Copies of this chain bind each other. A is one copy, B any other.
Amino acid sequence: MSLRVGVVGGGQLARMMIAPAVEVGIELRVLAEQSGMSAALAATDVGDYTDADTVLAFAREVDVITFDHEHVPQAVLHALVDAGVAVHPGPHALLYAQDKLLMRAKLDELGMPQPRWAAVSDAGELQAFLDENGGRVVVKTPRGGYDGKGVRVVSAATEADDWFATLAEDAHGGSLLAEELVDFSRELAQQVARRPSGEVRTYPVVETVQRDGVCAEVLAPAPHADKRLTDAAAHVAITIAEGLSVTGMLAVELFETTDERILVNELAMRPHNSGHWTQDGAITSQFEQHLRAVLDLPLGDPSPRAPWSVMINILGGPAEGGLDERFAAAMVAHPAAKIHTYGKAPRPGRKVGHVNASGAELDDVVYEARGAASHFD
C-alpha cells in the first residue's frame, strides 16, 4: 500500500514531483486545470481548483493534499480542513504566501529583516511613502503577482492609478503594498523543508539572477557566502517556517544589501525555481523533500552532491526548430549537462525547461550550463 499525495495544479512543479514519487514509491495524483498540462502523466483528475466540491472529491482518494501553486482560495482550503483532509501547507500558512500585505505584517511581528513597507490605499498615501523613501519605490498588488507581474517601480503616485482604480472597483476594497527600493548587491534564496511534526532541514543559500523580473540563473551555493551570511539566511528561513507553521518546502527570496544585510523579498510555500538545481545537485531534491515533508516522513539529506551547481532556465523562444532538435544539439555538445523539459509548447519568455550542471569549479559549471542552455535561445 503506497502513500498517496494529491497535488492541486498540473504545472511543472507537480510534474517534477513525479520522478521522486516513482523512485521512492509514493503514489502521486494531480488535479490539473486542463488536460495536456506539464504533469499530465500523473493527472488523475481535471477540474477547477476554485470549486470546493471538485477539490474535496479529489482529496478523498489521497492521504494528503499539497499544491503546485498558491492560488487555491482560502474558502476551498478551509473546506478541506473542515472535512478532515490533511492539507500541507495549511490555509493559515498559505495565507501569507497569498497576500503580501499580511506577509509583511507577520514578518514584522516575527522580527524578520525586511524592506520598509506600507499598505497604501490611495495615491495620497503612496505619495507620502514616495516622499519618505527617496522618491522611487516598488508598488505591488498584494495578490496574484508572480514572475514580475503585479510589481512596478514608480516615481510618482499617478503611476499606480490603474491599480488603485481596480481596487476601488473591488467590493472588498483593500490596499496596495509599497516597499522601499532596496539597494541590493544581489538576490539570494534560502530553502527550508519542514514536517508537520516539526523537523526542519535547510538547503544551502543560493544566488538567484533575475532578468526582466524572471529568475534566469541560480548558483548553488551562493558564491562568497560567509558563515555570518549563511547562518543569517538559515535563521530567517527557519524562523519563518516555524512562525508561519509552513509544512513542505518554503523558499525565502532575499536581497543582500550593499551594506551587507539580508532582507526578505518574497515567500513561496512549495518547491521553487531557486531549488531546481537540487534535482541533480543535492542528495535529496526539493521535490522529493516536499513529498516527504507533506507526508510527515523523515526528511532527506539536503547536502550538495558537488561543490557547485548551476541552474539556467530555458525561456521558450520562437518555435522554429523543434525543442527536440535543439535538445539533441545541446546534448551532443554538453553530455554532462542535465536538461529538463516541462512538456509545454514553447512561447517567447515562457519557462519551458531548465538546465542543471554540477562540478568542482564554478567557472566550468557556469560554462557548461550556459553552453547547454544557449542551444535553446
Contacts and interface: CB of A to CB of B under 8 A. Distances in A.
A335 B22 contact: no
B25 A343 contact: yes
A344 to B, nearest CB: 9
A335 B301 contact: yes
A176 B279 CA distance: 48
Given A22-B15, A24-B341, A343-B2, A331 B42 contact: no
Nearest to A28: B41
A135 interface: no
Contacts of A128: none
Nearest to A279: B23
Q: Which of A20, A41, A42, A342 has the most CB of B within 10 A?
A: A41
B358 A297 contact: no
Contact of A19 (B3, B18, B300, B332): B18
Given A19-B19, A22-B41, A305 B303 contact: no
Contact of A338 (B3, B279, B283, B338): B283
A197 to B, nearest CB: 11
A244 interface: no
A22 B1 CA distance: 24
A169 to B, nearest CB: 42
B25 A22 contact: no
A351 interface: no
B298 A336 contact: no
Contacts of A310: none
A299 B328 CA distance: 9
Contacts of A15: 22
A231 B129 CA distance: 71
A259 interface: no
A332 B296 CA distance: 11
Contact of A336 (B3, B18, B303, B343): B303
A340 interface: yes
A284 interface: yes
Q: Which of A25, A284, A297, A322 has the most CB of B within 10 A?
A: A25
Interface in A6-51: 15-16, 18-20, 22-25, 41-42
Contacts of A41: 18, 22, 41-42
A108 to B, nearest CB: 35
A353 interface: yes
Contacts of A327: 25, 297
Nearest to A292: B331
